[in-house]
Amino acid sequence: MEYDYEKLKMTGKVSSEALEYAKSVIKPGRKLLDVANEIEKFIEDKGCKQSFPVNLSSNAEAAHYTPEFTDQRVVGEKDVIKVDLGARDGTYLTDCARTVCLDGEYSKLVEASEKALENAISMVKAGRRVNEIGAEIERTAKAGGFNVIKNLGGHGIEQYELHANIFIPNFGNGDNTELEEDSVIAIEPFLTTGVGHVVEGESLQIFQGVSDRNPRSADARDALSHITSEFSTYPFAMRWLIKKMGSQEFKARRAIAELITIGDLEPFPVLVEKSGGTVAQSEKTLIVTKDSCDIVT
């Protein structure tokens, strides 16, 4: 099937608009749950679905924080929030992120992450080695006085698959894999005031279906039916599943635990900077061309 780049660009436009909208609704004192619901509704009102649950990771959290079903956490006056989101139309997915710095204390960190992304994009073309892109991201980070997070990076995007076929490092890792013309990629520098390594945190709210083994309990079978029909193999939030299961939170949590145990679901716990350093993220989706790239988000 021929790849529909125009449909991809349409979803990219929605993603970009949603990211701009997100900046307008992130205010001190607001519940993160309300913010997430509003951003996701914005995407749906534009005629798209989410590529994945909106991430609202704060401060030392680098990625994968999405609010719980009854989350009471609020935006702090000094929070540095990474908004990571994507819209999809059918099988065409996009991915983008920005960092919202509410009081300006970490504005240089945010600016450095944006500059690192800009410099990385300027290098993109068919045949470019991913190692060279990573080295430029790290050079920009170091020039600003910051570290890159070395165990996070960009990725390829294909139909049905958000993280596909290629890894784009945020430092010079020696990988000589070359970008291919007409491929779709996401570049996403993560910069930090910390040591530059993330570990798994306690929050676990994002999952992805990877198999359809028959679970034993009726609750798990019910949950798997909802996951298959509503989310297919795309990442979903625990709160989404709870709503689909009649807001029966305990039932949904117990079912997910069983599905993880038997290998039907892959969990994505929140990722936290190991030393507690503040993290900034910037990300865009691109189409690689012969001599440059087309920016999608």
Q: Which residues are catalytic?
A: 84, 95, 155, 163, 188, 283
Q: How far apart are CA 78 and CA 58, in angstroms?
A: 10
Q: How far apart are CA 50 and CA 30, in angstroms?
A: 22
Q: How far apart are CA 289 and CA 297, in angstroms?
A: 16
Tokens, residue 241: 């599943």
Work out the number of other CB atoms within 10 angstroms of the CB of residue 97.
27
Work out the number of other CB atoms within 10 angstroms of the CB of residue 294.
15
Q: How far apart are CA 97 and CA 104, in angstroms?
A: 18
Work out the number of other CB atoms within 10 angstroms of the CB of residue 247.
12
Please answer whether residues 95 and 63 qualify as being in contact, where contact means their C-beta atoms are separated by less than 8 angstroms: no
Closest Cα to residue 274, out of 190, 169, 194, 189? Answer: 194
Beta strands in 39-160 (DSSP E): 49-50, 55-58, 61-63, 80-85, 87-89, 92-93, 96-101, 147-148, 153-158
